[in-house]
Amino acid sequence: MTSPTGRKVTANISLTLDGRYNGPGGPADLAAIVRYATTETARNHLTRIWEHATTALLGRRNAEGFLGYWPAVASDEDADPRDRGYAKWLVDAEKVVLSTTLTEAPWARSRVVNAPVADVVAELKATGEGDILVNNSASVIKALLKADLLDRLYLMICPEIAGGGERLFEDGLPESRWALSRQETGALGEIAAIYDRVR
């Protein structure tokens, strides 16, 4: 449900056909996903995820990983314009990093919060404007699914079966219904889909 401020909570993640966001080798095993990350469909999808967002909500691991990659893309004139667009947005956006271990914010325009994700989202939805985007932070997305706090899911479905690794949709989630609002199929068989929570 959108807040009185109109802010929606959105999340983006890439999944294999067997619902995994990494392979059997652990968090760094993205073999079944990485080849689809730079397709035309994926880059168009990347642009859609941030166009209405003003806040990035990140887990610690992604915040640190993104810091090592995206700022350089923002200043790389040879980078794909869609990648640069996202990178510039991320650098300039408000960033809220959920962590129990960080003591200092890893980025400019960021703050570290050690609190349950539901409480953080409630605070963010009560003020400000624009969507709140969780980009690829699986632990945060899982917590929001469990609390039924997501309003929109941006999914990139990669046409491979990883055969192991971590799944996004675990048993025990509350029942929910979603409406497909956009779908695009890429040349490699990848599908970019946007689902809105029906309440």
* pLDDT 10s digits, 90-125: 999 999 999 999 888 878 889 999 999 999 999 999
* Single-letter residue type at 71: P
Low-confidence spans in the chain with pLDDT less than 70? 1-5
In whole angstroms, give the CA distance from residue 20 to residue 10.
19
Q: On the CB side of 144, how many CA atoms lie within 13 Å of its CA?
A: 29
Task: Write down the pLDDT at residue 2.
Answer: 44
Task: Write down the pLDDT at residue 4.
Answer: 60
- E strand or H helix at 72, and its extent? helix 70-74
In degrees and rounded to multiples of 5, residue 100 shows phi and psi of -100, -5
In whole angstroms, give the CA distance from residue 174 to residue 129.
28
Q: How far is CA 65 from the centre of its chain?
A: 13
Model-level pTM? 0.92
To the nearest 10°, the Cα dihedral for 95, 101, 139, 23?
110
Which sign does the torsion angle of CA 139, 186, 54, 178 carry?
A: negative
Contacts of residue 88, defined as CB under 8 A and 6 or more positions apart, other chains included, come to 74
In degrees and rounded to multiples of 5, residue 112 shows phi and psi of -95, 135
Task: Write down the pLDDT at residue 64.
Answer: 86
